[in-house]
Amino acid sequence: MAHGQRGNLPPLQLHVPEPKYRPGDEADFSDIEVPEIDALPRPDEGCHPSELSAYSYGLVRVLDFDGAAKGGWNPHLDADVLRVMLRNMILLRAFDDRMFRAQRQGKTSFYMKSTGEEATSVATTMALDKDDMCFPSYRQQGILVTRGYSLTQMMNQIYSNSGDHLKGRQLPIMYSAPDHGYFSVSGNLTTQYPQAVGWAMASASKGDSRIAAVWCGEGSTAEGDFHSAMTFAAVYNAPVVMQIVNNQWAISSFSGFAGAERTTFAARAVGYGIAGLRVDGNDPLAVYAAMRWAADRARTNNGPTLIEYFTYRAEGHSTSDDPHAYRAAQEFAKWPLGDPVERLKQHLFVIGEWDEDRHAAQAAELTDLVKAKQKEAEKNGTLGHGLHHPFESMFEDVFEEQPWHLQEQCAQMLDEQRAKFGPDWEPK
């Protein structure tokens, strides 16, 4: 008998989560329950978190599958606003497609697309005030697109070229644009959560009116930083909206490894005693409405909100990932909540504010715009093809006055370059 084993008890076992479908399987999402619109009526923004427990387990919805906007969560947005939202999502998709191709052409080392998740960055940003501070993960480039940030500057950063204001010091897609309310992206998972809560606490301490919004993927909720941030947000009633983009997959591991088999990700709010919402992440109007509700709640000192967007990652985790190796083909096509771009397009059709001709013309216009911006950025160089920042710049911008040992190391590096390339070599 093994050590510690009792004869009258079965041996202990561990449960290892396993996704329902693997390559070669036929995906079937019929087990996903899509509740009726208004199954969760819109509550008062100042209600106590204890009144919201059911909202962490249901699904906030606005757009029905016939394209009509219904129910109490309907934000009743003007048609012009809806068209801007659609344009931002189409522009984001065109940008993603172009940069994906650029990576395949060797112009950059890495890229991450947000296909299928556009509403979680575009619609959310449109529901915030322009001076609210966003703390993104690495798939929220839609925030910058929505806030009118330069596409050329985004591409300069992706290429790490001479026009990159970060001087090649950040991995591609890890933007930093504080002047647009966009905190620097970190490759370390969920560091942005305690940073966002701390920023929100500082805003409240100063008597400001700006709030913070933070995003992460569902896999990142397993990180300690997530839970530390939740504790501080709950204890200090921080004016922050914390968002989980549950796209079902973290690289090649499915959401079960982060706890999805046990309960929803929004249910983490219940344990911390804060407001929680679970939202159809492919319904741009529901996403907008939930963010506006949570933002108004935070801005009126009613505390933080945790929102789970139930969505699906349509493509690979990144250009370094092949989803065909670990999940069933055509899963996104069978996802019961559809495509956020197509759903908003359908809604505009239904209300008579859009048509196929205008849609096709806009798609072509935005594709051409992205191409033009790419040509502009590539005049500054691409990864591995010159036109980078001078070598000695790697020693700059850390200290106000460069200390002697860095000066010595820089001089040594330049001497080694001249020894390698000849005495006439000069840093460029």
Which tens digits make up the pLDDT trace of 364-411?
A: 999 999 999 999 999 999 988 777 888 888 889 989 999 999 999 999
- Examine the pLDDT at 1 and tell me if it is beyond 70: no
Please name the residues in contact with 27: beta carbons below 8 A apart, sequence gap of 6 or more.
20, 21, 328, 329, 330, 331, 334
Let me know whether 282 and 407 are in one domain.
no
Looking at residue 192, its pLDDT comes to 98
354 vs 421, more confident: 354
Identify whether 242 is part of a domain: yes
Read off the pLDDT of residues 362-377 as tens digits, 9 standing for 90 and up.
999 999 999 999 999 9
Q: What is the mean pLDDT of residues 9-17?
A: 93
Read off the pLDDT of residues 185-220 as tens digits, 9 standing for 90 and up.
998 999 999 999 999 999 999 999 999 999 999 999
Closest CA to 92 of 45, 39, 136, 149: 149
Cα 192 to Cα 324: distance, rounded to the nearest angstrom = 30
Closest CA to 185 of 174, 169, 173, 199: 174
Let me know whether 109 and 221 are in one domain.
yes
Read off the pLDDT of residues 18-54 as tens digits, 9 standing for 90 and up.
999 999 999 999 999 999 999 999 999 999 999 999 9
Phi-psi region of 330 (alpha: psi -120 to 50; beta: other; left: phi over 0): left
Let me know whether 407 and 259 are in one domain.
no
Let me know whether 186 and 158 are in one domain.
yes
Identify whether 286 is part of a domain: yes
Strands, E assignment, 130-223: 133-135, 212-217
User: How does DSSP assign 88-120, residue by residue?
Assistant: HHHHHHHHHHHHHHHHHTTSSS-----TT-THH
Looking at residue 302, its pLDDT comes to 98
- Examine the pLDDT at 259 and tell me if it is beyond 60: yes
Count of Cβ atoms closer than 10 Å to residue 353 Cβ: 15
Cα distances from 254 to residues 220, 257, 388, in angstroms, run 12, 6, 38
Looking at residue 358, its pLDDT comes to 98
Identify whether 92 is part of a domain: yes
Please give the share of the chain, as a percent, with pLDDT higher than 70.
Answer: 98
Identify whether 347 is part of a domain: yes
| Torsion angle, alpha carbons of 373, 143, 183, 241, to 10 | 180
Q: How many domains does the chain have?
A: 2
Cα distances from 101 to residues 68, 96, 113, 139, 290, in angstroms, run 35, 9, 11, 17, 34
Q: What is the mean pLDDT of residues 244-257?
A: 94
Identify whether 154 is part of a domain: yes
pLDDT-based confidence at residue 321 (cuts at 50, 70, 90): very high
Identify whether 8 is part of a domain: no
Q: What is the chain's mean pLDDT, rounded?
A: 95
Let me know whether 403 and 270 are in one domain.
no
Asked if 323 and 317 count as a contact pair (C-beta separation under 8 A), the reply is yes
Cα 50 to Cα 184: distance, rounded to the nearest angstrom = 34
Let me know whether 264 and 404 are in one domain.
no
Identify whether 39 is part of a domain: no
Looking at residue 398, its pLDDT comes to 86
Let me know whether 402 and 299 are in one domain.
no
Cα distances from 164 to residues 65, 168, 187, 373, 378, in angstroms, run 43, 6, 18, 14, 11
Let me know whether 183 and 271 are in one domain.
yes
Identify whether 244 is part of a domain: yes
Asked if 323 and 312 count as a contact pair (C-beta separation under 8 A), the reply is no
Read off the pLDDT of residues 122-131 as tens digits, 9 standing for 90 and up.
999 999 999 9
Let me know whether 115 and 247 are in one domain.
yes
Cα 411 to Cα 418: distance, rounded to the nearest angstrom = 11
Q: Which residues pair with 156 in a beta bridge?
A: none
Let me know whether 274 and 407 are in one domain.
no
Read off the pLDDT of residues 225-235 as tens digits, 9 standing for 90 and up.
999 999 999 99
Looking at residue 425, its pLDDT comes to 78
Looking at residue 167, its pLDDT comes to 92
- CB-count burial class (<10 Å; 0-12, 13-18, 19+) for 30: exposed
Let me know whether 327 and 401 are in one domain.
no
Looking at residue 421, its pLDDT comes to 86
Task: Give residue 191's domain range.
Answer: 49-378
Q: Which tokens in the block code for residue 371?
A: 């191409």
Asked if 331 and 27 count as a contact pair (C-beta separation under 8 A), the reply is yes
Read off the pLDDT of residues 133-190 as tens digits, 9 standing for 90 and up.
999 999 999 999 999 999 999 999 999 999 999 999 999 999 999 999 999 999 899 9
Which domain CATH number covers 172?
Answer: 3.40.50.970
Q: Is the sign of the CA dihedral 20, 24, 26, 27 positive or negative?
A: positive
Phi, psi (rounded to 5 degrees) for 245: -90, 95
Let me know whether 275 and 412 are in one domain.
no
Looking at residue 392, its pLDDT comes to 85
Cα 300 to Cα 353: distance, rounded to the nearest angstrom = 34
Pairing label, strands 212-217, 305-310: unpaired
